[in-house]
């Protein structure tokens, strides 16, 4: 019998929640630091240190975009820093008390930018101030005795999803400012005034306190602990209408949601789901849900970043191996669960203890290895389409995904290198209990004779390929062939074994290894029935 070609083997991504003998041929029950694109499996790209010094441990980062003026701002517990591509400067300013206890909530409004810590007045800066090397100050006209953990612009208003006023906490109340020009800040938040549109709405407590909010099309979606609401602009006198969308799912943490293709991906307390403002469905059930929540060490570590140039949402979190910082007792996210919406598939990668990520211009020119479009395998195209559709359109340079390394006080560029800031990327992909019955057209659980495997690999370097067998669903895999495989010169692994199930694994841990696995050719034939 000739070799049987198996293609699109990575189309289904990782599915650790299912038993190996139940997964499809296009799915893998185990793996780490691998990427999936169009059915092809590859070693993930890593990250590099941008070579700047952040004076304190970073907890937040944001790319500021405006025509002719693009910077990266980094928030620490007590300070805000500006990176202009050349140097890092302290732009904290002297106003207010900076008492941040977690990630800053950061938003750009027109040419202005604000940092909100949930306990003090938001810190604001505009382009005019930036152009004169100025610093942040308390947002003008802010109510002195009001604080909120979720403050975001929507339409021509600034929205608070839950807030504290003096000694009173309004966890289930939405409050908004008067209308304002996004080139500036609201002039009033006076809900008692009859001369402006500022107001509030009480949503009730059945779904718990409000946690976060995110715009979806023309609607502002409000996320509570156990429910989701829609907020729509209808004009004076009511200004906004509100409706409950779901009462069985909420959000696990502020920032644990992202926009993609007219939908929201949301990490709830018990499931990862997607919705369009009306209906929802689970993304993770029978794929990664059980594994993710079992290994999640700290719900407050979860945040999401949409990466449209790769058709991905990154769900960053701290697992049981995450670092706990002695200064604040918080876990720094060390893992990322990546969802690819084109393939409806998941994978896991390591990240550099990153408490926040952002898209920004590539302003420093010292790092070139592995950049998008550089000729490496697994290149991901450009960001042209996405940025041309953004409301923050700028004169586009190369855009990249940046993360802050809390442990080492570094700014890192992601998807850029064959290593993790100089350290090799250790990755593997494994599938066991492969019965091949459907591809050779036999009855279930027949005995097969396996004579050889030809991995269809592109790239360079050496990997370890293991081929194994087993005869029952519970029997451990017998790895009968474990060998070094030179991607440039090797093409076949000879095997002589009979069993019901085939197992296949690729390991890679050298900086020089960079590969794609496009498929497998298997020399296999039926030799006996059940």
Question: Cα separation of 37 and 9, whole Å?
Answer: 11
Flag whether 277 is in a domain: no
As to burial, measured by CB atoms within 10 angstroms (0-12 exposed, 13-18 middle, 19+ buried), residue 325 is middle
Contacts of 189 (CB under 8 A, 6+ apart): 141, 142, 143, 146, 158, 175, 177, 178, 198
Flag whether 368 is in a domain: no
Q: How far is CA 274 from CA 43, 263, 287, 530, in A?
A: 27, 7, 15, 43
CATH at residue 434: 2.60.120
The predicted model scores a pTM of 0.92
Structural contact between residues 242 and 229, judged by C-beta atoms closer than 8 angstroms: yes
Q: Could you tell me which of 316, 335, 484 has the C-alpha nearest to residue 420?
A: 335
Question: How many Cα neighbours within 13 Å face the side chain of 79?
Answer: 11
Flag whether 211 is in a domain: no
Q: DSSP assignment of 158-177, as one string?
A: EEEEEEEETTEEEEEEEEE-
* pLDDT, tens digit, 9 for 90 and up, residues 237-296: 999 999 999 999 999 999 999 999 999 999 999 999 999 999 999 999 999 999 999 999
* pLDDT, tens digit, 9 for 90 and up, residues 403-441: 999 999 999 999 988 899 889 999 999 999 999 888 887
Flag whether 150 is in a domain: no
Q: What local confidence, expressed as pLDDT, does residue 95 receive? A: 62
Q: What local confidence, expressed as pLDDT, does residue 373 receive? A: 30
Which domain covers residue 486, as residue numbers?
4-44+428-528
Q: What local confidence, expressed as pLDDT, does residue 182 receive? A: 85
Question: What is the three-class DSSP state of 381?
Answer: coil
Flag whether 520 is in a domain: yes
The sheet with strand 399-405 has its strands ordered as 354-361, 399-405, 410-414, 47-49, 419-420, 423-424
Please list, residue by residue across 10-43, b when 16 or more beta carbons sit within 10 angstroms of its beta carbon and e when fewer do: bbbbbbbbeebbebebbbbbbbbbbbbbebbbbb
Q: What local confidence, expressed as pLDDT, does residue 493 receive? A: 96
Flag whether 270 is in a domain: no
Question: Cα separation of 209 and 198, whole Å?
Answer: 21
Flag whether 488 is in a domain: yes
What is the residue whose two structure tokens read 């944001």? 62
Question: Cα separation of 234 and 121, whole Å?
Answer: 29
Question: Cα separation of 179 and 158, whole Å?
Answer: 8
Flag whether 198 is in a domain: no
H or E, element range at 484: strand 478-486
Number of domains in the chain: 1
Lookup: tokens for 509: 């841990």
SS3 track for 420-461: ECCEECCEEEEEEEECCHHHHCCCCCCEEEEEEEEEEEEEEC
Which residues of the chain are under the pLDDT cut of 50? 96, 365-396
Lookup: tokens for 234: 């209808």
């Amino acid at each position: 019998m000739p070799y049987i070609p198996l293609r699109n083997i990575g189309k289904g991504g990782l599915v650790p929640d299912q038993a190996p003998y139940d997964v499809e041929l296009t799915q893998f029950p185990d793996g780490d630091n691998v990427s999936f694109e169009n059915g092809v499996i590859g070693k993930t790209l890593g990250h590099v240190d941008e070579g700047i010094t952040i004076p304190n441990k970073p907890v937040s980062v944001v790319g500021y975009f405006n025509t002719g003026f693009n910077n990266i701002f980094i928030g620490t517990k007590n300070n805000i820093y500006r990176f202009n591509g050349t140097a890092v400067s302290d732009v904290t300013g002297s106003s207010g008390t900076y008492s941040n206890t977690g990630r800053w909530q950061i938003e750009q409004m027109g040419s202005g930018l604000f940092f909100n810590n949930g306990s003090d007045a938001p810190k604001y800066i505009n382009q005019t101030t930036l152009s004169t090397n100025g610093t942040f100050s308390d947002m003008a006209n802010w109510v002195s005795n009001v604080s909120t953990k979720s403050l975001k612009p929507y339409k021509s208003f600034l929205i608070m999803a839950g807030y504290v006023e003096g000694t009173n906490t309004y966890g289930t109340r939405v409050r908004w400012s008067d209308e304002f020009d996004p080139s500036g800040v609201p002039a009033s938040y006076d809900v008692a005034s009859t001369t402006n549109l500022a107001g509030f709405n009480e949503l009730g407590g059945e779904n718990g306190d409000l946690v976060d909010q995110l715009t979806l099309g023309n609607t502002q979606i409000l996320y509570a602990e156990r429910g989701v609401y829609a907020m729509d602009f209808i004009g004076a006198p009511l200004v906004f209408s509100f409706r409950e969308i779901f009462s069985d799912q909420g959000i696990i943490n502020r920032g644990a949601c992202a926009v993609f293709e007219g939908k929201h991906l949301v990490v709830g307390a018990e499931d990862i789901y997607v919705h369009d403002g009306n209906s929802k469905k689970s993304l993770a059930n029978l794929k990664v849900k059980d594994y993710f929540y079992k290994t999640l060490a700290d719900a407050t570590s979860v945040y999401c970043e949409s990466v449209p140039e790769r058709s991905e949402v990154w769900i960053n979190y701290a697992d049981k191996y995450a670092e706990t910082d002695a200064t604040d007792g918080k876990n720094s996210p060390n893992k990322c669960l990546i969802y690819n919406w084109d393939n409806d598939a998941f994978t896991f990668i390591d990240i550099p203890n990153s408490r926040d990520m952002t898209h920004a211009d590539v302003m420093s020119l010292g790092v070139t290895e592995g950049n998008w479009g550089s000729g490496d395998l697994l290149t991901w195209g450009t960001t042209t389409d996405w940025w041309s559709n953004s409301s923050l359109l700028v004169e586009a340079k190369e855009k990249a995904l940046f993360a802050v390394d809390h442990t080492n006080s570094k700014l890192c560029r992601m998807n850029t290198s064959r290593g993790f800031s100089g350290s090799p990327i250790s990755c593997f992909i494994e599938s066991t209990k492969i019965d091949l019955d459907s591809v050779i057209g036999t009855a279930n659980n027949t005995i097969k004779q396996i004579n050889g495997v030809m991995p269809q690999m592109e790239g360079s370097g050496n990997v370890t390929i293991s081929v194994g067998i087993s005869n029952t669903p519970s029997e451990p895999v017998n790895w009968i062939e474990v060998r070094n495989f030179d991607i440039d010169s090797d093409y076949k692994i000879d095997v002589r074994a009979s069993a019901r199930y085939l197992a296949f694994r690729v390991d890679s841990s050298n900086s020089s290894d960079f590969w794609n696995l496009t498929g497998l050719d298997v020399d296999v034939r039926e030799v006996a029935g059940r």
